Amino acid sequence: MASINYGDVEVSYGMPYHPEDESDELYWYIASKTHHEILQNHLKSVRVLLEVEVPVDTLFSLRVMLHGHVVSAIEGYLAGTFIHKVTNSEELTRKLVETDPEFATRTFSLRAANKTCR
């Protein structure tokens, strides 16, 4: 993360919430078992926000933003659950690699990480 100092104000920018190395994020998806809880928290927030009083001319915009938030929350849940299930199952990982056309163009190493093979 980098920052710029403008006198009394310091502006930080970069990747404060996610690691810059995408593999770190993948490891979180693999290890995390809270995808459903995260989805439930997002949906709970939407229910609360739907109860907030806003001017009538703003209500449509609020609903559009909340709809986008719900769609993104569900996409995140489905992606996280898929990644978690596939990467934690040898059978599903094999099936993914064997059937996904994207993997047909890639080269893989089958060396075991941190293990000595004799």
Distance CA 38, CA 46 (A): 13
103, 97 Cβ separation under 8 angstroms: yes
What's phi and psi for 111, nearest 5 deg? -70, 140
86, 96 Cβ separation under 8 angstroms: yes
Compute the C-alpha angle 89/91/93, nearest 5°.
70
Specify the pLDDT at position 9.
Answer: 62
The top-scoring range by mean pLDDT among 7-16, 53-62, 80-89, 109-118 is 53-62
In the predicted model, is pLDDT for residue 44 greater than 80? yes
Tell me how far CA of residue 100 lies from CA of 1, 18, 91, in angstroms.
35, 27, 14
